Amino acid sequence: MSSSRPMIIKFGIFAVIMTVLTVFLFFIFGQYRTGSTNGYSAVFNNVSRLKAGQTVRVAGIRVGTVNSVTLLPDKRVRVKFDADRSVVLTTGTRAVVRYLNLVGDRYLELVDGPGSTKVLPAGARSPSTGRRPRSTSICCWVA
């Protein structure tokens, strides 16, 4: 019985280390984000396979997540998303749907555009721009 005690202690230490490592890898590869976010929405004519859970990026850096994609009665699409509070969106900011990879996955890119530098409040909603989507990106104003 006394010879099994060191084995139990070693196993306990191993189990704790593996649990901590698993949680760490979950946060890294699961792209779990901590911190405060602001919610926004944008209205598109076409979102070309954008889905809830896909990323929101600014200059290629992940700053948020697409929360929902819903079809409106007028056949347009509302995309609700969140962005880190450290990201400042203005009334000139545009939301653009872009390709993430060759498989066809998408992401929502937030791009500074012409217009006012007035900061958008959390929960702001965009009107439709009436622009025709290009084959590589689909855009609308986030204002």
Query: Any residues with CB less than 8 A from the CB of 142 and at least 6 apart, and which?
Result: 40, 42, 89, 93, 94, 95, 110, 120, 124, 126
Which has the higher per-residue pLDDT, 138 or 57? 57
Which has the higher per-residue pLDDT, 139 or 111? 111
Residues 113 and 91 in one domain: yes
Residues 7 and 41 in one domain: no
Residues 51 and 22 in one domain: no
Domain containing 136 equals 37-141
Residues 50 and 5 in one domain: no
Query: Does the pLDDT value for residue 143 go beyond 60?
Result: no
Residues 72 and 105 in one domain: yes
Mapped onto helix, strand or coil, the DSSP state of residue 23 is helix
Residues 71 and 94 in one domain: yes
How many angstroms separate the Cα of 143 from the Cα of each of 10, 14, 74?
58, 52, 19
Report the number of distinct structural domains present in the chain.
2
In this predicted model, what pLDDT tens digit does every residue of 11-55 receive, in sequence order? 999 999 999 999 888 877 766 666 788 888 888 988 888 999 899
Residues 6 and 60 in one domain: no
